Structure 1
Amino acid sequence: MDCRCFPPTARTRGVFVEFRSISREPSAFQQPVADVDIPEICGRAFGAGVRVTSAVELGGGMYNTTYRITAESLPEPVILRIAPAPDRQFASERGLMRNEYATVPYLSTVATLVPRMLFADWSQEIIGRDWVLQSHLTGVPTPERLGAYDRPLWRGFFAQLGEITSRVHSIRGAHFGPVAGPGFPTWSAAVVASLHAIADDLSASSLDATDVRAVADLATEHRNVLDEIREPHLLTGDLWTVNTMLSTEAPEPVITGVLDLDRTLFGDPAADWTIRMASAKQDERTAFWDAYGSRDASSAGAWRALVYEARHLGAIRLERHRLGNTEGVRDSYVALGKIVSALA
């Protein structure tokens, strides 16, 4: 962690600010902003008289850059989230922050758990990047807290996660695809478009996308199986342990917050990342299904699940490439090859 205090300047309007950023390589995907940008951002959101006192970059996420901000005129800390520069975003991930902003009106069933949007700026005038200010959620990140509980108590956490996911999945949309668009009239069209977007990103990154394109072709050929899904429901997109907060006081795990709903889309709930993760192991997470409900055990549902897994693996390959995980990229080809064989 790099900790610096910067002196008053014309841009900071005489405020003395503690600025802490995470040390990163210049080539790293996540990049901080300049210390003098923070007061200007807060001035735009809260008025020229705001007196920022600290800005501390938070770790944990792998996409946006996040700071906890305190100011004399604000009653509690706020969270500043800054999107990657537009030219650093994959096409299949473009505008994720704007997608999250568009999702807020649909989150009434979990409104007490998600941060409030305080201000959003898509002008890119200050730092050349999208950014939002959100309320600060109470609690501690689940990965830092869950291990303090005896393992039998973890079942309660996963049951809560199942109940939250069920609430989100109960929300219906008017189209298939990302909440902010583009929207599609059928589920097959949305899935095929997503697979092609991921494949195009892989090709642009000089990675072989033959397997992902093969899945897109199979999904097109058997679109009728995908189009058995006739009603678009809201998917969390990325909800799992790393995107939840736990109470610091409770004698058993209690979820107090849900974060980073920027990959939301309307479609088949079975395609959600949360469902994939809940299905991955037969351990404490099986309690998820006690609260969520049963899974689709039909042959058509099993075929769709393979397509969804291929989509997840394609996105995972992109993320691993972005993080420089060459071994993980290689492993994704083995896993996806098995999916293609099973689908064909």
Structure 2
Amino acid sequence: MDRRVPKNEIRKIIEDLCGNQVNITNTLFIGGYANSNYLVKTDVEEDGFVIKLVEPLEFQSWLRFEKSSLSGEAYCYKLLREHGIPTLDVIKYSPPGEIINQEYLVTKYIPYIPFTSIPSNEDCGEKCYEVYGYYVKKMHQIQVKKFGFKRKDNWGEYSSWYDFVCAYTKELLNKTREYSLYDKHFYCSVNEIIKQNKKALDKVITPCMVHWDLGYGNVLVNKKEKEFSFEAIIDMGRCIFGDPLWDLVDSSYKPQAFWKGYGSSSKGTLDGIIRSKIYSILDGIFDAYISLIRFDNKERYVRENDVVIASIKDILN
């Protein structure tokens, strides 16, 4: 499916920022999962602008938090900058209907290289991974008053972490029911796990910033001569406020240098282990769901599903 936005819509966005005399030298579609992203070069900004537009198609398979993420994303970039964490420089957030029909976000483009190109076992690479861990820790120390999502209409905010996890679990399971992915026993098991471990979830009493999609693809680095530099944490559209452990569930790909920069966490405590298992189950259900329904990847669906089933049996036993 071609999701390209007409060039005249892109021009409206750029003219709103730079005036109608601006010269657009190049427009490049750079993909996107739930959004369409464009790198736009002009004669007024050396590196260019990145325009991120909400993708209006295929909303039926989306969870609610995915449908209105750009306002929250802009808010999170502001918080990161206020706390000295390298991130994207937001030029403008525009709600639907203000300039064009779609909601969009404009940021400055940051030149980068893939994080995975950094040799973690060399001194230059270790330092970059250590800085990465340091900034993730700083991000996890950002606190707000309510748990859950930050959206312009205050949707998705909760007074307790347990309430948020219950609400998210309910929506996720209801969405999979629409496609008949699991049987009744599966749904009962997941709900029972959440209820049985309310005490562990209630140990999270402070809503901290959680990226919720902290893969290497959402971390920008660059190389100047022989030195690697940490440039930015990006793609905050899924950001929630709650338990930092959710960002640390899959820590197998983080080298020791990351933990040197990050420091300690509650991951090794009994309650932390229980919560990590719950988050892993919910992540697995979400990944299995999008693998099958959005990408028609049956092999990945089966793989993710097998891990989820094994995790459910483990925590119930």
Structure-1 separation of matches of 2:92 and 2:166: 34
Cα distance 1:32–1:126, how it changes in 2: closer, same or farther (>3 A)?
A: farther
Contact 2:212 2:238 in 1 (8 A): yes
Contact 1:212 1:310 in 2 (8 A): no
SS at match of 2:146: coil
Matching residue of 1:186: 160
Contact 1:139 1:257 in 2 (8 A): no
Structure-2 separation of matches of 1:155 and 1:201: 41
Deviation at 1:241, TM superposition (A): 1.2
Which region of structure 1 is more displaced relative to structure 2, 305-314 or 74-83? Answer: 74-83
Specify which of 239, 248, 261 is matched with residue 214 of structure 2.
239
SS at match of 1:140: coil
Specify which of 189, 196, 199 is matched with residue 173 of structure 2.
199
Matching residue of 1:3: none
Which region of structure 1 is more displaced relative to structure 2, 303-312 or 195-204? Answer: 195-204
Structure-2 separation of matches of 1:113 and 1:138: 13
Segments of 4+ in structure 1 off by > 6 A?
Answer: none
Matching residue of 2:259: 289
Specify which of 225, 228, 234 is matched with residue 259 of structure 1.
234
Deviation at 1:44, TM superposition (A): 2.9
Cα distance 1:76–1:152, how it changes in 2: closer, same or farther (>3 A)?
A: closer
**When the two structures are aligned, how many residues end up with a matched partner?**
307
Which region of structure 1 is more displaced relative to structure 2, 227-236 or 311-320? Answer: 311-320
Cα distance 1:150–1:100, how it changes in 2: closer, same or farther (>3 A)?
A: closer
Contact 1:85 1:128 in 2 (8 A): no
Instruction: Read off the aligned partner of 2:193 and give its amino acid letter.
Output: L
Instruction: Read off the aligned partner of 1:35 and give its amino acid letter.
Output: K
Deviation at 1:171, TM superposition (A): 0.7
Matching residue of 2:245: 270
CA deviations 1:189-238 (Å, max 9, x no partner) are: 11111111211222234422753663233212431220011111111121
Structure-2 separation of matches of 1:128 and 1:203: 32
Compute the TM-score of the two structures, normalised by the length of structure 2: 0.87
CA deviations 1:166-205 (Å, max 9, x no partner) are: 0000111111111224111111111111111211222234
Structure-2 separation of matches of 1:49 and 1:332: 51
Contact 2:77 2:88 in 1 (8 A): no
Matching residue of 1:70: 41
Structure-2 separation of matches of 1:195 and 1:244: 27
Summarize the alignment of residues 40-55 of structure 1 with structure 2, pairs less than 5 Å apart: 40-55=12-27
Specify which of 112, 119, 128 is matched with residue 92 of structure 2.
119
CA deviations 1:224-270 (Å, max 9, x no partner) are: 22001111111112123111222231524321122111111111111
**1:317 has 2:288 as partner:** yes
Contact 2:81 2:87 in 1 (8 A): no
Cα distance 1:114–1:129, how it changes in 2: closer, same or farther (>3 A)?
A: same
Structure-1 separation of matches of 2:214 and 2:314: 27
**1:81 has 2:56 as partner:** no
Contact 2:148 2:158 in 1 (8 A): yes
SS at match of 1:45: helix
**1:224 has 2:195 as partner:** no
Deviation at 1:136, TM superposition (A): 1.4
**1:152 has 2:122 as partner:** yes
Structure-2 separation of matches of 1:286 and 1:250: 25
Matching residue of 1:340: 312
Structure-2 separation of matches of 1:250 and 1:318: 43
Cα distance 1:71–1:280, how it changes in 2: closer, same or farther (>3 A)?
A: same
Cα distance 1:209–1:195, how it changes in 2: closer, same or farther (>3 A)?
A: farther
Contact 1:96 1:262 in 2 (8 A): yes
Structure-1 separation of matches of 2:11 and 2:188: 46
Structure 2 regions of 5+ residues with no counterpart?
none
Aligned CA-pair RMSD:
2.4
Compute the TM-score of the two structures, normalised by the length of structure 1: 0.81
Structure-2 separation of matches of 1:142 and 1:51: 33
SS at match of 2:194: helix
**1:134 has 2:107 as partner:** yes
Contact 1:239 1:261 in 2 (8 A): no
Structure-2 separation of matches of 1:339 and 1:314: 11
Structure-2 separation of matches of 1:42 and 1:192: 42
